[in-house]
Chains A and B, each alone.
Chain A
Amino acid sequence: MFAFTIRRLLFAIPTLLAISFIIFAILDLAPSDPTGNLPLTISPEVRAQIRSSLGLDEPFPIRYLLWLKQFFINEPLNLIEGWTGWTLGDGERMRVTSWATRSPVVDLIIERMPQTLWVVGMSQVIAIVIAVPIGVISAYKQYSWFDQIGTFVSMVGFSIPTFFTGLVFIVLFSVHLQWFPSIYDTNHVIDSWDSFVFQIKQMIMPTMVLALATAAQLSRYMRASMLDNLQQDYVRTARAKGLTERVVVMIHVLRNSMIPVVTVIALNIPTIFGGAIITEQIFRVNGIGQLLIIGIQGADIPLVQTLTFIFAVLIVLFNLIADVLYGILDPRIRYE
C-alpha cells in the first residue's frame, strides 16, 4: 500500500505539470482582456500601458515559466519564511500577483478560506449526517412511506438548482419572516454566545441550500448500495447464525455499503475548497467560488490560473485518498 501511494504521488507530478500548462494555454488563448471591463473613457493608449505594466507583452513561454517559478519556488519559500520567521535569500521575490487587486494571490486565497470552509464544509457534514440514515432506512424498509417520502425529497433536492432554492429561502426567511440575514458578514468575529448564534444564523441558509443538494445525491447512492448488499448471501448467513437485526444491518451491511459512498464523499471534498460559485454569490459569502468567478469575469489570469491549479492538485490528491480508503474498508482489495 505504501509503495502504491508513493508511486501514485510520483505519477501525479507530470500529470499536474501538464494540467498547469493546459490551463495556462487555455486562459491565454481565451479572447479576454484585463482592461476590457474598464470604462470606455479610458483611451486605448492607456490600456496598452496598463497591459504592459501587467507583463502581458511578454511572449507566452516566458509568462508560463515565470508563473511556474513564482508558484513552485517563490510562494513555498515565502510560506516557509512566514512560518519560521527566517529570511531566505534577500526575502525580495516576485509572488503570484493578481491583476485586479495587485496583491498576492495566495494571500487572497487564505483570506477567503475561512468562510468557504465554514459554509461549504459544514454543508458537506450536514449532508452526510442527513443522507446516511435516510439511505439506510429507505433501503431497509423499501417501498415504505418513509422510502417514498425520502425518494420524493431527494428527487426535489436533486432536480432544483441551488440558485432557485437559494432565492426561495431568501424570499421566505429574509424578506417575509425576517429570521435570517440574506447577506453573509465576512467580518463577523465570534467572541461571545450572541455572536456565535449570529454566525449560526447567517450560515443556516447557504449551508442548508448546499446540504440539500448534496444530501439528495448521497442518500440515493446510500440506498442503492444498501439494497445491493441486503440481497447478498452473507446477510442470510449472518441472520441464520442468529445475529440480531441491528448487528446485521449496522455492522455487516452498512460497512460494505459504505464503499461506493466513501468514494463519492472523498471526491466531493475538493469542491469544499473550490467553494460553491452560485451559492456564494447569492448569499454573498464571498469565498473561493466568488473569487474565482470574479477573476474569470475580470480576466485576472494569475488568479484564475493559480486557483484552478490548486483545484487540480486537490482532485488528484483526493482521488488517491479514495483509492487508499477502499483498501482500508475492504480488506480484499490490495494494491501491489
Chain B
Amino acid sequence: MKKIGFLMAATALVAAGSAHAESHEGRATDGHLNIIYWQAPSLLNPYLSGGTKELEASSLVIEPLARYDETGTMVPFLVDEIPTVDNGGVSEDLTTITWTLSEGIKWSDGTPLTAADAVFTWQYCTDPESGCAQLSNYNDVESVEAVDDRTIKITFSVPKPFPYGPFVGAQSPIIQAAQFADCLGAAAPTCTDANFAPIGTGPFVVTDFKANDVASFVANENYRDPMKPAFATLNLKGGGDAASAARSVLETGEFDYAWNLQVEPEILNQMAAAGQGTVVSAFGTSVERMHVNQTDPDPELGDERATVAHPHPFLTDPNVSRALSLAIDREILVEAGYGSSGQPTCNVLPAPAIYASTNNDWCLNYDPDEANRLLDEAGWVMGDDGVRTKDGERLSILYQTSTNSVRQGTQALVKQMWEEIGVETELRNIDGSVFFGGDPSSPDTFQKFFADIEMYTNNFDGTDPERYMGNWACAEIPSPETQWQGSNMQRFCSEEYDALVVEFGQTAALEDRAALAIKMNDMLMNSGSIIPLVHRGGVSAHSNTLEGVLMNEWDSELWNIADWTRAE
C-alpha cells in the first residue's frame, strides 16, 4: 500500500511538472527560491570535497555531459546523444568513447564550452598532488583528447564494458579551463575564489558564497534553454539540524525545499500534517546491512585478531546467520526508524531493477520459530539463562555500529528480537568520524571489525554495480598486511566469487551483466556473511507552491532545477 501511494504521488508530480512547463512564462519570471541544506556546503568544487552536500550545491552551477534521471537512466545534458556501441560512439573493443558536445553551449561568462575544458577537467582531477576526491571516476583513463572543438575522445587502458565513469553524473562535472588554469595540483586549494564560485554551464550563477552558511545564485543569462530557469534568484541556506529544516518547509513555510530529512518518521508525519508542504522520497542503491564477521575478533589472539588465520567460532555457519536474519522483523525496523525512506530488503544489491535478485525473499518473512529450529538443528542448546550454548561456547554477539539515533534504535530492537531465539547481544556504538575514519592506529574502525557483527549503510555511485560487487573479492580483505585498508569488511573469501568478479569486468552485454550481478549477490546472501536490513532512500520536502521536483537518488537531487516552477 505504501509503495502504491508513493508511486501515485510520483506520477502526480510528473504530471504536475509537465503540465506546468507549458504554462510557465520564461526565464527568471518566478521570483525567488529558498532551499535549505542543513549541512551547508563548504565549497562549490566537488573535486576538492567528496561530500554529498558539495556535490548537490555545485550541481546548480556546473554540469556533466550526461546525468542520471529519477529512474536511473542516463539523459544527455551537454551532448545530443549518449554514445553507445550501437551508434558508434563506443568502439567495438570497448576501449574508447567519443562524446560530441551540443552546438552553441556557453559558459555563464559568455565564452563557448569546448572539448578542451573536458580535457582540462581530467588533468585537474588526475594530478597526483591535487587530492581529487572524485578520482575513481577517471579510473583506467589513459587519455582524454579534444579531437576538435566539440569532440571529446576518451581512451581507456583496458576494455570498459561501462565507459560512463568520466563526465557522467554529479560526481564528475566539467569545470572551466580558463578559470582553473592556475589551480592544478598542489595549487588547487589556493584558488579560493574559483572554488567558491566556479563558472559553469548550469542554470544558475553564484553571486555570493559564505562557506558553511549560505550561497546566493541568480539565473544564468547564457543558459542553453532561453525559457529556463524559471527562478530569477536562489538562496541555499545551511546550518542547524534535519528536524528544524523540515519544520521550515512543512510548518513555517519559510523555505521551499529541504534536503536529507533523516528525522524519525513520527515527527516528520506530524509536521507534514500542517499542510504547507510535501515529503518526497526516492530510492537508490543504499542498503543498511549487517556484516557478519567470518574471522575471530577475540582480543586474546593479539596481532592475529580478526584476520583470516582464525575463522569465527560460530558465525561462519550459514545456518546461524540465517537464523539471525529470520529472527529480525524488518518491517518493525522500517516503521520505527525510516518510515517512507526505507523498505525491507534481502539483497545487498537492491537496485537498479535489472540487477535486483528475488531469490532471497525468504528473509522478508519474520519467522522466529524457523530460526529456533535452525539453531536447534545446528546443535545450539538453550541454557537455563535463556542463552544458547554449544560445546561450552555461548551464543553471544558483540554488535557495533556508528553513533546515530536511528541506528541505536535499530540495535535495541534487534537485541530484543535475538533474545527470543536465545542469542545474547552486547551493543556498542562508535562515533562516525572514528568508525568510518579508517585510522589504522584506532581499534574502533569498521575495517578492523573487532566485533562479531557491524551495521552501516553503503551504496555505489551511478547505476553500474561492477566496482561495488568487486568489494567482496578476497584481495579486498582488510588485514595488518594492507594497513587495514580494504572493503571486504566481513572477510568473505571464495575462489568462485573472485572468478565472477573477473568475468564481470569482461562482460559487455547488459543482460549478461545483470545475470552475473544477481548470481554474485545470491552467493553473498547464501554465505550468510551479509544480513541486509533496509533499502534506504533519500527523503526531502518541498513546499506545495513548488512544482517540477523529481526526487532523484542516482544523481544530484537538484538535477532538474531548471524545470522547477512556482505554482500560481
Contacts and interface: CB of A to CB of B under 8 A. Distances in A.
A36 B447 CA distance: 13
A33 B439 contact: yes
A108 B487 CA distance: 36
Residue of B211, B235, B441 contacting most chain A CB atoms (<10 Å)? B211
Given A53-B130, A103-B195, 18 more contacts: A36-B434, A38-B51, A40-B459, A43-B487, A44-B485, A46-B136, A51-B131, A101-B211, A102-B189, A102-B192, A104-B192, A182-B247, A187-B208, A286-B40, A286-B212, A290-B213, A294-B40, A294-B212
A31 interface: yes
Contact of A284 (B129, B240, B252): B240
25 contacts: A31-B444, A33-B439, A39-B50, A39-B52, A43-B487, A44-B438, A45-B485, A50-B50, A50-B131, A52-B131, A98-B211, A100-B49, A101-B195, A101-B211, A102-B189, A104-B192, A170-B247, A182-B248, A183-B240, A183-B248, A185-B237, A187-B208, A187-B210, A284-B240, A294-B212
Residue of B135, B188, B241 contacting most chain A CB atoms (<10 Å)? B135
B299 interface: no
A102 B247 contact: no
Contact of B212 (A33, A37, A100): A100
B275 interface: no
A186 B213 contact: yes
A297 B433 contact: yes
B526 interface: no
A181 B43 CA distance: 26
Interface in B31-72: 36, 40, 42-43, 48-52
A41 interface: yes
B486 interface: yes
A36 B248 contact: no
Residue of B36, B212, B247, B457 contacting most chain A CB atoms (<10 Å)? B212
Nearest to B239: A284
Interface string B134-163: 011000000000000000000000000000
Contact of B436 (A40, A282, A291, A298): A40
Contact of A103 (B211, B441, B442): B211
Interface string B268-296: 00000000000000000000000000000
B367 interface: no
B239 A281 contact: yes
A148 interface: no
B238 interface: yes
Contact of A37 (B51, B239, B456): B51
Interface in A22-52: 31-33, 35-47, 49-52
A281 B240 contact: yes
A135 to B, nearest CB: 34
Interface size band for B: 35 or more
B289 to A, nearest CB: 12
A97 interface: yes
Contacts of B457: 40
A15 interface: no
Main DSSP-derived SS at the B contact region: loop
Contacts of B124: none
B122 interface: no
A53 B183 CA distance: 13
A42 B487 CA distance: 11
A52 B188 CA distance: 13
Contacts of B461: 39, 41
A43 B468 CA distance: 11
A94 to B, nearest CB: 9
A103 B436 contact: no
A22 to B, nearest CB: 21
Interface of A: 31-33, 35-47, 49-54, 97-98, 100-104, 107-108, 111-112, 170, 174-175, 178, 181-183, 185-187, 280-284, 286, 290-291, 294, 297-299
Contact of A102 (B36, B43, B444, B487): B43
Given A44-B438, A182-B252, A187-B216, A37 B131 contact: no
A32 B437 contact: yes
A102 B96 CA distance: 35
Contacts of B438: 33, 35-36, 44, 47
Interface in B210-226: 210-214, 216
A181 B486 contact: no
Interface string B237-257: 111110010011001101100
Given A102-B192, A175-B252, A44 B131 contact: no
Nearest 8 pairs between A and B by C-beta? Answer: A53-B131, A33-B437, A36-B437, A36-B433, A102-B189, A101-B211, A284-B239, A38-B50
B133 interface: yes
Interface of B: 36, 40, 42-43, 48-52, 128-133, 135-136, 186, 188-189, 192, 195-196, 208, 210-214, 216, 235, 237-241, 244, 247-248, 251-252, 254-255, 431-434, 436-439, 441-442, 444, 456-461, 485-487
Contacts of A107: 192
Nearest to A47: B438
B210 A186 contact: yes
Contacts of A298: 42
A50 B188 CA distance: 12
Contact of A31 (B130, B437, B486): B437
B34 to A, nearest CB: 9
Contacts of B436: 36-37, 40
B466 to A, nearest CB: 13
Contacts of A36: 432-434, 436-438
Contact of B254 (A182, A186, A290): A182
Contacts of B441: 31
Contact of A183 (B48, B255, B486): B255
A47 to B, nearest CB: 7
A182 B244 contact: yes
Contacts of A286: 40, 210, 212-214, 238-239
Given A32-B437, A183-B248, A46 B133 contact: yes
Contacts of B432: 36-37
A40 B435 CA distance: 12
Contacts of B434: 31-33, 36
A170 B271 CA distance: 14
Contacts of A31: 434, 437, 439, 441-442, 444
Contacts of A112: 213
Nearest to A112: B213
Contact of B50 (A42, A178, A183): A42
B42 A101 contact: yes
A178 B212 contact: no
A328 to B, nearest CB: 40
A31 B439 CA distance: 7
B437 A46 contact: no
B207 to A, nearest CB: 10
A34 B457 CA distance: 19
B254 A49 contact: no
A46 B211 contact: no
Contacts of B247: 170, 175, 182
A294 B188 CA distance: 22
A143 to B, nearest CB: 42
Contacts of B50: 35, 38-39, 42, 46, 50
Contacts of B433: 32-33, 36-37, 297, 299
Given A36-B437, A181-B254, A102 B48 contact: yes
A273 B423 CA distance: 53
A207 to B, nearest CB: 17
B245 to A, nearest CB: 9
